[in-house]
């Protein structure tokens, strides 16, 4: 088992410098898993009749597309596949920590969840941020940036900070939720390993059941956070692209 | 009292205060969200799935801040002051 958290195996790549090897490897595997899953679900839509696969996953896809249509209107149609893929991909990344402990035991250079690394979540938040800028400028022209000086010109610094904090909070929320989940797991595991005795009472034996609950909590948190990341992306996009009154 | 014992004591105290604030704030916030959700369901039981969803969404957005506080508290405890190493050093 991983003894410490926040330490990563590093590779040195030309042009980029040192990278976190375990995060990158885990991300690749999660990417393959998510791509295969999406291809499998997408393939079921090509058949003339509604199959089992489509029926099962129609709920998730319908739900996210309803959210996109609800906040972006008909103009949100091109973004439906992006947000569905984002949700499923982030869900895979968040849940990958459960698999990675056995894989780590077998000697693979895998760490925890890739989203438990700030280097994974910051690019995704920046991706959402840049996408919103590009979409808004393509739709409204450079006049889009007029909203920064509204309702009054002296609100400019506040609006700028508000705008700039969005990717920061988006990245920090996802990162800390997953990271602290793994940290709690490791803290409890170290309590279990240290054989803490309080008089005749073996605290470590009693604490041995706690990791199961922590993994349930992590599953819940990972699902909720993947959904919140997607939903906040949709909300920020709708704030940027809908018409002003 | 040696300076290491002082650092360990101060860090553990600070961790306790962080946990106090985090637990208190998130408990109050979650309580408000859940009580409003129960009120809304009792007023309009047919909207229950929708209300549940937005309740979990609100809890998810809210719960990020205590978890960030908890993460920074553990960072203080385990990385900045490295209290377990200090304690085992003091025990010798």
ipTM above 0.85, yes or no: no
State how far Cα B62 lies from the chain centre.
11
Q: What is the pLDDT of residue A244?
A: 60
Residue owning tokens 């609950």: A213
Residues in contact with B45: Cβ distance below 8 Å, sequence separation at least 6, in sequence order:
none
Give the minimum alpha-carbon distance from B52 to chain A in angstroms, rounded to a whole number: 13
Judge contact between B5 and B87, C-beta under 8 A: no
Task: For A52-96, write each residue's pLDDT tens digit.
Answer: 888 888 888 888 888 888 888 887 888 999 999 999 999 999 988
Task: For A106-119, write each residue's pLDDT tens digit.
Answer: 767 676 788 888 88
Structural domain count of chain B: 1
For residue A224, which residues of chain B lie inside 8 Å, CB to CB? Answer: 56-57, 59-60
Judge contact between A218 and A98, C-beta under 8 A: yes
CA distance A228 to B61: 7
Look over chain A and give the mean of its residue pLDDT values, rounded to a whole number: 84
Q: Which residues of A58-82 are buried (b: 16+ CB within 10 A; e: fewer)?
A: eeebeebbebbeebbeeebeebbeb
Q: What is the pLDDT of residue A1?
A: 38
Dmax (CA) of chain A:
73
Nearest to A180 among B56, B61, B71 (CB): B71
Specify which residues A18 forms β-bridges with. A12
For residue B71, which residues of chain A lie inside 8 Å, CB to CB? Answer: 176, 179-180, 183
CA distance A32 to B15: 40
CA distance A3 to A182: 11
**Domain residue ranges of chain A, discontinuous segments joined by +:** 10-241
Domain interval for residue B83: 3-91
* B interface test, pick of A171, A173, A223 with most B CB neighbours within 10 Å: A173
Q: Give the residue from A108, A109, A111, A113 showing the smallest Cα distance to A93.
A: A113
| Numbered residues of chain A with Cβ closer than 8 Å to any chain B Cβ | 6, 172-173, 176-177, 179-180, 183, 187, 221, 224-225, 227-228, 231
Q: How far is CA A70 from CA A128, A191, B34, B66, in A?
A: 19, 48, 25, 31
CA distance A184 to B66: 14
CATH number at residue B23: 1.20.20.10
Helix (H, G, I), strand (E, B) or coil at B12: helix
Peptide bond connecting A151 to the previous residue in cis, omega within 30 degrees of 0 = yes
pTM above 0.90, yes or no: no
CA distance A161 to A2: 38
Task: For B31-64, write each residue's pLDDT tens digit.
Answer: 999 999 999 999 999 988 888 878 888 888 888 8
**For the ranges A98-102, A137-141, B71-75, which has the lowest average pLDDT?**
A98-102
């Amino acid at each position: 088992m991983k003894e410490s958290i926040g330490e990563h195996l590093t590779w040195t790549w030309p042009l980029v410098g040192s990278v976190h090897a375990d995060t990158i490897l885990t991300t690749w595997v999660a990417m393959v898993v998510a791509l295969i899953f999406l291809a499998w679900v997408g393939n079921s839509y090509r058949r003339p009749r509604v199959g089992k696969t489509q029926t099962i996953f129609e709920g998730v896809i319908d739900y996210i597309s309803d959210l996109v249509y609800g906040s972006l209107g008909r103009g949100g149609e091109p973004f439906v596949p992006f947000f569905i893929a984002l949700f499923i991909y982030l869900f895979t990344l968040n849940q990958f920590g459960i698999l990675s402990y056995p894989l780590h035991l077998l000697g693979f250079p895998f760490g925890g969840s890739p989203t438990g690394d700030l280097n994974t979540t910051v690019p995704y938040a920046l991706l959402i941020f840049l996408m919103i800028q590009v979409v808004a400028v393509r739709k409204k022209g450079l006049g889009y940036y007029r909203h920064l000086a509204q309702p009054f010109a002296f609100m400019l610094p506040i609006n700028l900070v508000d705008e700039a904090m969005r990717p920061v909070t988006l990245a920090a929320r996802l990162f800390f939720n997953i990271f602290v989940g793994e940290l709690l797991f490791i803290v409890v595991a170290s309590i279990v390993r240290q054989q803490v005795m309080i008089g005749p009472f073996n605290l470590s034996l009693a604490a041995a059941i706690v990791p199961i609950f922590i993994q349930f909590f992590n599953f819940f948190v990972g699902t909720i956070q993947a959904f919140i990341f997607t939903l906040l992306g949709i909300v920020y996009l709708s704030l940027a692209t809908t018409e002003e009154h | 009292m040696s300076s290491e014992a002082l650092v360990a004591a101060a860090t553990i105290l600070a961790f306790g205060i962080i946990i106090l604030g985090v637990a208190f704030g998130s408990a109050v916030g979650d309580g408000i969200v859940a009580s409003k959700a129960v009120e809304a369901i009792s007023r309009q039981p047919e909207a229950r799935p929708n209300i549940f969803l937005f309740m979990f969404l609100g809890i998810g957005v809210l719960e990020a801040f205590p978890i960030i506080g908890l993460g920074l508290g553990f960072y203080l405890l385990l990385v900045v002051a490295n209290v377990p190493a200090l304690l085992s050093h003091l025990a010798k």
